[in-house]
């Protein structure tokens, strides 16, 4: 018996895209599809399919084994816990209209880690078996509690590889915080919504606070080497900033990556930005314009390379199976295994979005707490559904090997996880994104090819990224 482990997609520009279950792909013509459909494959067709590993015969153990190996690279095998998002405080000194976590007021008591919570977190860190650790401090505004950040960092000295990311609005820069930032294993992540006007409208509400933020950001950019600071915008699709103004605001600060995020349907945004539940065509068109403009700018000035972070993540998922560990796009997407979120009260969530849902009062998806652990039935229940492997739509989708599963996103938007996959924003977003990526993969535009090579971290630009079979 011979099988073709292929899935087909009628692509807007590349013809018909054929993707193997393990992610190998080629573009082809309608005539090849006809030959397959009508059982008229030529010797040349069969030779091509065989050579490229698309033909599985029952009597060919070697090809089957090779296919199994390639398939396994597409399936996440989570290691031990080594990535934690910690929320030492939910208090914040800003009040953004789309705050995803419905932050607490600056002076509100009861929203910081207690002594007991800190002790329990440190105890959990001591138990971790691995030699690597990545900790992201989220909030609220975590820099309101430098003492808690310092305590955690000090407890992680035993790890051979350490990385700490402090997600901050950079409204205040105390000497205390600068001392923490100065550590080479500390990285800074902030929000920059575009030019000063856009940033003020979305976040700070007044120009003095915006100027303070920009002054702080500029001083840190001058103080630290490239790569130490990253920023990402939250964009209101109903009023997106001018593309070049947005890119300029990043480029002039020496920031090379920009993670375009529409308003997340979480926290305050659920009420104040109801339209953010579904991203409409105008957002997707804006996204394409930004990426296209980035490509043009990279081609015009080759001295520096800008990238859209999520585009690059998805691109690398196509070509480098297993290399990306972006926790929002994995298959399966293991919950509470290699990555957890610890909230201000010690409650443990499988993802940051799960924390946001609980905070919004939508649903409690907590899986435990730092005092008693999180390896229970709640976690197992979530993990039973965290794969795209058996979904009937995903089984028919050419992009399944590259895609993932995010049940928390489904719950956030629809209140359930059994909505037909193709009706979900997650699916629509990724269908659009992978269509766009393959449009560029099969583009003849040298500027597009140049940027793709840089985003794939290749030393040179290849002649082609994808093969074609006529």
Partner 1 sequence: LIQSDLICQLSQAVDRPSFNPTGKLGGQLTDRIRCEVGSHDQAIAIHAAEWVSRFYPDVSARAHIDYVELESDRRSPTQLDQLWRTVLTNERLIVEGAASRASLLTDLMA
User: Looking at beta carbons only, is 66 or 106 nearer to partner 1?
Assistant: 66
- Give min distance, CB of 16 to partner 1, in A: 5
- Give min distance, CB of 56 to partner 1, in A: 7
Which ranges of 274-424 does DSSP label H, i.e. alpha helix?
281-300, 309-319, 352-359, 377-383, 392-395, 407-414
CA torsion sign, 314 to 131 to 353 to 194? negative
- DSSP string of 430-458, one letter each residue: HHHHHHHHHHHHT---HHHHHHHHHHTT-
- Give min distance, CB of 309 to partner 1, in A: 27
Task: Say how far apart CA 386 and CA 195 lie, in whole Å.
Answer: 38
- Give min distance, CB of 256 to partner 1, in A: 35
- Give min distance, CB of 188 to partner 1, in A: 40
Work out the widest C-alpha separation in the chain, in whole angstroms: 75
> Which position has the token pair 């490509």?
295
User: Looking at beta carbons only, is 73 or 212 nearer to partner 1?
Assistant: 73
Task: Say how far apart CA 182 and CA 367 lie, in whole Å.
Answer: 35
In Å, how far are 113, 193, 348 from 373, measured between CA atoms? 17, 37, 8
Q: How many residues does the chain have?
A: 470
- Give min distance, CB of 8 to partner 1, in A: 4
User: What does DSSP assign to residue 421?
Assistant: G
- Give min distance, CB of 340 to partner 1, in A: 24
- Give min distance, CB of 61 to partner 1, in A: 12
Contact residues for partner 1 (CB under 8 A)?
1-10, 16, 21, 30, 33-34, 36-39, 41, 56, 64, 67-68, 71-72, 75, 389, 393, 395-398, 420, 422-423, 431
Task: Say how far apart CA 415 and CA 408 lie, in whole Å.
Answer: 9
Kindly report the number of other CB atoms within 10 A of residue 171's CB atom: 19
User: Looking at beta carbons only, is 194 or 332 nearer to partner 1?
Assistant: 332
User: Looking at beta carbons only, is 64 or 183 nearer to partner 1?
Assistant: 64
User: Looking at beta carbons only, is 277 or 454 nearer to partner 1?
Assistant: 277
Which H or E element spans position 8?
Answer: strand 6-11
> Which position has the token pair 């409204």?
171
Query: At residue 283, what are phi and psi to the nearest 5 degrees?
Result: -65, -45
User: Looking at beta carbons only, is 187 or 442 nearer to partner 1?
Assistant: 442
* 377: nearest Cα among 332, 335, 407: 335
User: Looking at beta carbons only, is 75 or 456 nearer to partner 1?
Assistant: 75
User: Looking at beta carbons only, is 177 or 427 nearer to partner 1?
Assistant: 427
């Amino acid at each position: 018996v011979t099988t073709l482990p292929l899935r087909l997609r009628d692509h807007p520009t590349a013809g018909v895209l054929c993707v193997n279950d393990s992610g190998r792909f080629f573009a082809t013509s309608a005539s090849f599809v006809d030959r397959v459909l009508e059982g008229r494959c030529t010797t040349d067709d069969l030779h091509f399919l065989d050579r490229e590993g698309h033909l599985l015969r029952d009597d060919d153990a070697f090809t089957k084994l090779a296919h199994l190996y390639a398939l396994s690279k597409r399936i996440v095998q989570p290691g031990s816990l080594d990535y934690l998002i910690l929320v030492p405080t939910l208090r914040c000194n800003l009040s953004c209209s789309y705050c995803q976590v419905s932050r607490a007021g600056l002076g509100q008591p009861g929203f910081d880690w207690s002594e007991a919570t800190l002790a329990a977190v440190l105890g959990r860190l001591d138990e971790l078996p691995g030699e690597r650790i990545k900790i992201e401090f989220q909030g609220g505004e975590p820099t309101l509690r430098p003492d808690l950040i310092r305590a955690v960092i000090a407890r992680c000295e035993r790890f051979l590889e350490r990385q700490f990311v402090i997600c901050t609005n950079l409204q205040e820069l105390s000497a205390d915080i600068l001392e923490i930032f100065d550590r080479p294993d500390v990285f800074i992540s902030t929000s920059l919504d575009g030019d000063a006007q856009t940033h003020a409208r979305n976040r700070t509400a007044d120009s003095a606070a915006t100027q303070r933020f920009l002054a702080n950001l500029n001083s840190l950019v001058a103080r630290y080497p490239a790569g130490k600071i990253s920023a990402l915008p939250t964009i209101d699709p109903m009023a997106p900033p001018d593309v070049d103004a947005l890119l300029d605001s990043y480029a002039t600060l020496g920031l090379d990556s920009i993670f375009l995020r529409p308003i997340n349907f979480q926290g305050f945004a659920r009420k104040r930005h109801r339209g953010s539940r579904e991203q409409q065509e105008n957002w997707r068109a804006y996204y394409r314009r930004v990426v296209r403009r980035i490509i043009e700018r990279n081609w015009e000035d080759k001295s520096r390379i800008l990238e859209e972070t999520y585009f690059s993540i998805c691109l690398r998922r196509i070509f480098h199976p297993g290399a990306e560990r972006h926790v929002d796009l994995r298959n399966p997407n293991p919950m509470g295994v290699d990555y957890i979120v610890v909230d201000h009260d010690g409650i443990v969530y499988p993802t940051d979005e799960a924390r946001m849902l609980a905070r919004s009062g939508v649903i409690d998806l907590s899986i435990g707490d730092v005092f008693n652990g999180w390896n229970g039935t709640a976690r197992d229940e979530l993990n039973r559904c965290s794969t795209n492997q058996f979904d009937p739509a995903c089984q028919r989708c050419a992009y399944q090997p590259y895609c993932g599963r995010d049940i928390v996103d489904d719950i956030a938007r629809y209140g359930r996880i059994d909505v037909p996959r193709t009706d979900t924003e997650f699916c629509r977003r990724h269908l659009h994104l992978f269509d766009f990526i393959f449009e560029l993969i099969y583009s003849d535009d040298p500027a597009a090819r140049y940027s793709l090579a840089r985003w794939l971290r290749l030393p040179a630009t290849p002649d082609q990224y994808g093969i074609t079979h006529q």
